[in-house]
Amino acid sequence: MQSAHQVRQARPNRLRIETDREAVERDLSRLVLTLVELVRQLVERQCVRRMEQGDLSDEQIEVLGLTLMRLEEAMTELCERFDLTPADLNLDLGPLGTLLGDDQR
């Protein structure tokens, strides 16, 4: 029986993938921003749900509104910085549809 070391030596290094560094950085940025946008949208929906239930004071509603606006502005700035559009963040999940829905900014 061969040891793991012998098996590794017997096979050429086929697991190595040649990549373009800039493409990898862009794709990683896209993935991270997609996750941030997903969380931002989930928080926004939760805030709206709490407002509709009457769980928040007028002051809390004002603070949440300003915070959500700032978060959206920050996402817009980050997308511009990485040359992405909001549509670029909306991953296609095949038969499940898109990750962020069809109503993107």
Residue 94 lies in a domain: no
What is the number of domains present in the chain?
A: 1
In a 3-state reduction of DSSP, which class is residue 99?
A: coil
Residue 31 covered by a domain: yes
Question: pLDDT band for position 18 (50/70/90)?
Answer: low
- Look up the domain containing 53 and give its range: 20-87
Percent of the chain at pLDDT exceeding 90: 42
Residue 66 within a domain: yes
Cα 58 to Cα 44, 49, 61, 65, distances in angstroms? 16, 15, 5, 10
Residue 50 in any domain: the answer is yes
Answer whether residue 10 is part of any domain. Answer: no
User: pTM here?
Assistant: 0.69
Q: Does residue 102 fall inside a structural domain? A: no
- Of residues 86 and 42, the one with the higher pLDDT is 42
Q: Which of 7-21, 66-80, 85-99 has the lowest mean pLDDT?
A: 7-21
105 band by pLDDT with thresholds 50, 70 and 90? very low
Q: b/e string for 26-38 if b means 16 or more Cβ within 10 A?
A: eeebbeebbeebe
**Cα atoms in the Cβ-side hemisphere of radius 13 Å centred on 103:** 1
